[in-house]
Amino acid sequence: MLEEIIKDQIKLKSVLVTLAYIFLMVVAAVLFSAYVDENNLRTIVTGTGLLGPVIFFLLETVYVTFTPLLNTAIYITSGYLFGASGGFVINFLSTVCGLFLIVFLVKRFGRPLLRKFVSKSFFDKFDIITQKVGPLLLLVVYVLPFTPDDELTYILAAGPISMKRFILPILLGTLAKSALSYVGANGTAGLAIAGYARLTMLVVGLIVVGIQEYIYKKHLAIIEQV
């Protein structure tokens, strides 16, 4: 009896946290869509002086974490406001923080909730699929433009993939996306740099993450044989 009450309380907590997160996503998406544009961001940055880069970093982190919107515009705006290099650094740091926050929140609250609301067979099949394609697919989606990268992060983070296996795809993919700051700073001339960064990170990432996954699967096979 006591065990069932505890389970119900944990389930209720997970549901409430998930609903609160969805509510924040909706509110953030509405606010960013309505009020956050290049002119408003420039006003905020110039009006806060030396704190401008910090304010922009926090806004971008919230944007990445809570809004189901494409990040392209805010990446370009960072270059317009802080220059190619400064915008690149802010893009990289805020996106990495936002993506790891997504992974942490989903693993902390989303996966336990998924386990409670779907059948065991579905849950097991979901785990098998995400284990096979997770990190490599995530890298490709991060690097390619106009892809639902944040949304895929939510899905894959709900699987059994450890936090360590997310590190390389997030870092390498974010390096590629952050280069959009060069478009904001240099206009169409920056497109070549941004495209080169994506191509480079795609090739390097497929090799590096591929090696990571090969080592992981080989290590897993050894453990299963023991």
pLDDT per residue as tens digits for the range 174-226 = 999 999 999 999 998 899 999 999 999 999 999 999 999 888 888 878 877 76
Q: Tell me which of 41 and 184 has the higher pLDDT.
A: 184
Q: Tell me which of 30 and 61 has the higher pLDDT.
A: 61
Q: Where are the domains of the chain?
A: 2-225
Could you give phi then psi for residue 180, rounded to 5 degrees? -65, -15
pTM: 0.83
Confidence (pLDDT) at 79: 93
> Mean of the per-residue pLDDT values for the chain?
83
Residue 5 has pLDDT above 70, yes or no: no
Residue 66 has pLDDT above 90, yes or no: no
**What mean pLDDT comes out for the span 66-91?**
88
pLDDT band at 46 (very low <50, low <70, confident <90, very high): confident
3-state secondary structure 29-82: HHHHHHHCCHHHHHHHHHHCHHHHHHHHHHHHHHHHHHCCCCCHHHHHHHHHHH
Which pLDDT tens digit goes with each residue over 119-176?
777 777 777 777 777 788 889 888 988 777 777 788 878 888 888 888 899 999 999 9
**What mean pLDDT comes out for the span 80-85?**
93
